[in-house]
Amino acid sequence: MTDAADLTATALLAAYRDGSLSPVEAAEAVLARIDRDDPKINAFCLVDAEGALAAARASAERWRRGATLGPLDGVPVSIKDVLLTRGWPTLRGSRVIDPAGPWDEDAPSVARLREQGAVFVGKTTTPEYAWKGVTDSPLTGVTRNPWDPSRTPGGSSGGAAAAVAAGMAPLALGTDGGGSVRIPAAFTGTFTLKPTYGRIPHHPASPFGTLAHVGPMTTSVADAALLLDAVCAPDARDWSSLPPPAVPFTVSGGPADLTGLRVAFSPDLGFASVDPEVAASVAAAAEAFAELGAEVERADPGFADPVDDFEALWFAGAAKVVEHLPPDERARLDPGLQEVCEQGARLSAVAYLTATARRMELGRIMGLFHERHDLLLTPTLPIAAFEAGAEVPAGSGARRWTGWTPFTYPFNMTQQPAASLPCGFTADGLPIGLQVVGARHADALVMRACRAFEEARPWTHRRPTL
């Protein structure tokens, strides 16, 4: 019999409906998986077994009475520890935040899940203040990849991705300011979407500004659609939140046949260096889109690497995060975070606005690009997962995490929807990710294309073994 911890949310809900499984059994299964495997990967910084079981029992009673609160009633979910969660501390991987709180407010996405009766299992690890593309922090230590615990799961939503991949809850909420759901999704063989900015409300506002998005992390496209439908409602606390989609993601999939879809395949964006194994796997994925009927052609968007402008915006945001801290508290921060905060604090207003102007130009370029191409395919990352506990791969010559993530941060700058889905494995058995990018507000199209690829090249049966 399949362990309930390995079931997707979609499968769990079907089992709840036919009575073959209860929310209590599902919660017990994921909690048992956490007890067994989390000591090896450190995906959780907080587990509330008692609270999860109480919520699961309440959900089971609602299912018995036919009075469920919403489509996710009874489904286990984890929350990245940068999103406010009522009753639990949100420490953001930092030793400088007081655990005493008060912690009396939910972030918008968390509130929507609570209203629907989702079972909150715990909070997942993040680098301090979610500042980098791997997951380790002074507070929680190193988080590891379930496919190979000597490797990183990526970041900054590395704990969320590792938890989903290892069967420690089928749904997770993560955040993405420069790739932070897509990087770990690629490294752990899971699915994610960084939606159009404002599609999922965010509160409190991120100090990194309009680079930061909230996104679902799951093992399947169908599960991500369920989670998106739950959390895409507007929230008055976020002035930039969008109205709900006209058609729910769970019913907007469309045919698996992608005939007529204009798809650009850019293996390197015109400037990135890509590992040959990754390049071959992503090229094969692009061929699969053609087999599904899409008109696929090689095309680069036509912009140079915007890393300097991204770093100006990102490092200024980091400086804003810690501006209230006295020197003795700043000395307790992750040393890398201290460095980028100092760099960001030295930026002038003119330099920041110059980076903003270049960001707007990048958005113009991509807007025109999507008049010719409905979607853009790229690698999610140019490499597979590397050594855990390091910000950059050994011997790479990169100084910061942005040196090995050239495909992710450009699309935070443009606020476009961008998904990462598994498209293969290296010879060492490490997952490889394909990135699917759409025009702003084309989230449903991105999800439709990902669902078609998932049906043609299924991956959900592949699970890591710890």
Q: Sketch out the chain's domains with CATH numbers.
A: 8-456 (3.90.1300.10)
Confidence of residue 256 (pLDDT cuts 50, 70, 90): confident
* Averaged pLDDT for residues 317-336: 96
Tell me the CA distances in angstroms from 88 to 108, 215, 336, 427, one per residue in order: 15, 20, 27, 41
pLDDT tens track for 399-445: 999 999 999 999 999 999 999 999 999 999 999 999 999 999 999 99
Catalytic residue among 22, 59, 80, 266: 80
Instruction: Decide if 129 contacts 93 (C-beta within 8 A).
Output: yes
Confidence of residue 32 (pLDDT cuts 50, 70, 90): very high
Catalytic residue among 59, 94, 156, 241: 156
pTM flag (> 0.95): yes
How far, in Å, CA of 279 to CA of 296, rounded?
16
Q: Catalytic: 80? A: yes
How many residues make up the chain in this entry?
466
Q: Catalytic: 320? A: no
Q: Catalytic: 180? A: yes
Residue 276 CB partners (closer than 8 Å, separation 6+)? none
Catalytic residue among 22, 180, 241, 266: 180
pLDDT tens track for 67-114: 999 999 999 999 999 999 999 999 999 999 999 999 999 999 999 999
Amino acid identity for residue 1 in this structure: M
